């Protein structure tokens, strides 16, 4: 498992603090490469710029208020296109495939995206935003969506990274 820019334990604790620290933070066993650090920074910049833009933020807030489905369904559906945009941004700027580790590693874009959208939902007092079960289900659903995307695209590096992370999680359980 690779360490990303957001792997700092205090940042992870802060992201999960709203859920009563019911989540155990995994510790990376390998530092991120400079390329992964750069890609993570680009992805986070794109994600944050998009999510908090004057155009997108009201749309996200409206969806959170109006969509009657549980957050564990809504958030992955909103997050997937944002993550694909971040991936595209990385590939456009670096002219290289986006490292799968920045999405799948502990503290990667999948987990961070879910955390940030749940924080927004909490700020907006959306029902279920404080429910750790909804948070966990949203994480599972975004990983499922990412896995489906990987299978559709045939990205071998992403498949290997996802399998490695899945194996690590099973071994630690």
pLDDT in tens, the chain (173 residues): 344 444 444 544 454 454 444 444 444 556 778 888 899 999 999 999 988 999 999 999 999 999 999 999 999 999 999 999 999 999 999 998 888 888 888 889 999 999 999 999 999 999 999 999 999 999 999 988 988 887 887 767 666 666 665 555 445 44
Note whether 100 and 162 are within 8 A (CB).
yes
In this predicted structure, what is the pLDDT of residue 55? 93
From the CB of residue 113, how many other CB atoms can be counted at a distance below 10 Å? 26
Q: Where are the domains of the chain?
A: 31-172
Q: Which two tokens stand for residue 76?
A: 């992955």
């Amino acid at each position: 498992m690779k360490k990303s820019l957001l792997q700092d334990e205090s940042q992870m604790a802060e992201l999960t603090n709203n859920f009563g620290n019911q989540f155990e933070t995994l510790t990376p066993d390998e530092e991120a490469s400079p390329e992964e650090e750069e890609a993570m920074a680009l992805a986070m910049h794109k994600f944050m710029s998009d999510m908090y833009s004057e155009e997108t933020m009201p749309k996200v807030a409206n969806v959170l208020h109006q969509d009657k489905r549980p957050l564990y369904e809504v958030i992955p559906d909103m997050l997937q296109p944002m993550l694909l945009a971040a991936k595209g941004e990385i590939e456009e700027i670096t002219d290289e495939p986006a490292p799968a580790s920045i999405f799948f590693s502990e503290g990667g874009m999948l987990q961070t995206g879910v955390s940030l959208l749940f924080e927004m939902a909490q700020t907006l007092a959306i029902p279920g935003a404080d429910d750790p079960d909804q948070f966990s289900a949203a994480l599972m659903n975004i990983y499922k969506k990412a896995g489906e995307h990987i299978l559709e695209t045939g990205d071998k590096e992403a498949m290997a990274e996802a399998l490695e992370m899945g194996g690590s999680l099973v071994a630690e359980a």
